[in-house]
Structure 1
Amino acid sequence: MRVLLNVNGRSQYSAEIRPEFQNSACGPTTAHVILTYLCQKNDAVLTHDINELYTLLGGTKIGLFKWRMIRNLRKLLGENWCVEECTLTQAIEQLREGNPVAMRFDVYFSGQFLSKHKPLYNYHWVPLIGYEIKDSELYLTIHDNGGRNRDSQVRSFKYDDNRKVLNFIKVAPKQR
């Protein structure tokens, strides 16, 4: 089984993003990529850029906390949207329904900073845009939010190698 959404990624280091935000703009960039995709899919218009989302979501120099992203996205989007933490199973279901998911790598708050196994990222938000099952192993596909002088790239990785440090947030319009 394979699902891959046609999501346009963004680099958190693009020239449009304020230089003082760039190092910690992965959360707002992830939210912007997901909301842009969902708004286009639902014939809506996203009125906030990444700099505005950085402020509205409560971004800090050390990143965007999960509870802040959930609370502030709920405030921003209103009652017609569902914004909540979800499990891997629910995240995969969202992908099957055509909705990308906000995914966070978090070594520090998951207590895995002393682990011998090195995850893909220590602390980083990314849009989860797909998955694939190969040889009975689950692989997740993300946009990596770019780097200095590099656009966002689509990357796949083995879920089991990172599962202890991953969190998922569902962001989707409510069914009417």
Structure 2
Amino acid sequence: MNTPPTAGQDRSGPGPGAITDERRRLVNIAYRLLGSLAEAEDAVQEAYARWYAMPPERQQAVEAPGAWLTTVASRICLDLLGSARARRERYVGEWIPEPLPDRTEWIGGPAGGGRAAPADPADRVTLDESVNMAFLVVLESMTPAERVAFILHDVFRYPFAEIAEIVGRSPAACRQLASSARRRTRAARAQAAP
């Protein structure tokens, strides 16, 4: 039910639909940073809780709510990755990241975005799972700041100036973090046995 604005209230700010439409992208970012779907959803939920805890005047002052939510969610992920709890919970043995749920939940449609399907769908699923798993294993070897810089820049195409605000470092330092993360990725690719 839509209620009309009361006298003295300006409803020109972002609507609830604009805010909730960001959820899929935010969970996607948080999952790639944390490697755990449950923790990713918690981080995104915390970002939304902070958004809705702000007074309406501050919400309306935010020019790009999606960017604000991305910044807050990324900072929450960075804090989680650097927390004492994360350092205490080091897994002994070969680490296997949590697999992603069905792709249709993430991208809102069939895998491949409408392109021609491979001959055997099972081959495509196997390839997708192995690529996701390899990517998460490589991410685990990165520092939290490297992860944030690499994921936001190389995967989601954020400029280094915005990443610098999130990470709390200079744009040049963020470029170095992303470069270091790329080197780790290349090194892991070179070490992989066929």
TM-score between the two structures when normalised by the length of structure 2 = 0.25
From the CA coordinates, give the structure whose radius of gyration is larger. 2
Greater helix percent: which structure?
A: 2
Greater strand percent: which structure?
A: 1
Structure with bigger RCO (C-alpha 8 Å, 6+ apart): 1
